[in-house]
Amino acid sequence: MDYKIKRLLEKAKQAKENSYAPYSNFHVGAAVIGKNDKIYSGSNVENASYGLTICAERNAIFKMVNDGEREISAILVIGDTEEFLPPCGACRQVISEFSTERTIVYMCNKHGKYKKTTVEELIPFKFSIDFL
C-alpha cells in the first residue's frame, strides 16, 4: 500500500470512529486529498429527521471546499462492511463536481482492503454544469 493511500485510510478510519449513527448503526468514514496534498476527513452524521443526515464523503468534501480547495485528487470511503463500500448516489454526484479525469476513488472494506476506481466508472452519465 503506497503512502498516500495509507494516510487516507488512517484518516478515514479515525473519522469513522467519530461517526454519529444512532439510528442505522452504520458507521462510515471518508478522507479526501486535494491538489494541495492536504487531507480532509469526515464521518456520517445522522439526524432523527433522516433527510438531514449527511454522509461521510460529503462531510469531508465540504471541509475541503470550505478550506478553499476545489479539486479532489483522491477520495477513500470505509465502513464496517465485508464488501468494498461504494459512495451513495448523492455522494457520487458531489464527488463528480470536484473531480477531474485523474481523480481516484478507493472503496474499502472493514479490513482496509480496497478497490480502486474512477469517478467516470462510478457515474458515467453525471449531471454537470454543461446542462445548465
74-85 pLDDT, tens digit each: 999 999 999 999
- Cell digits of residue 70: 476545489
- Cell digits of residue 6: 495509507
Instruction: Provide the residue ranges of all domains of the chain, joining segments of one domain with +.
Output: 3-131
Q: Any catalytic annotation for residue 101?
A: no
Give pTM, 2 decimals. 0.94
Which of 10, 46, 57, 120 is catalytic? The answer is 57
100-116 pLDDT, tens digit each: 999 999 999 999 999 99
What is the CATH number that goes with domain 3-131? 3.40.140.10
The phi, psi pair for 115, rounded to 5°, reads -120, 130
* pLDDT band per the 50, 70, 90 thresholds, residue 7: very high
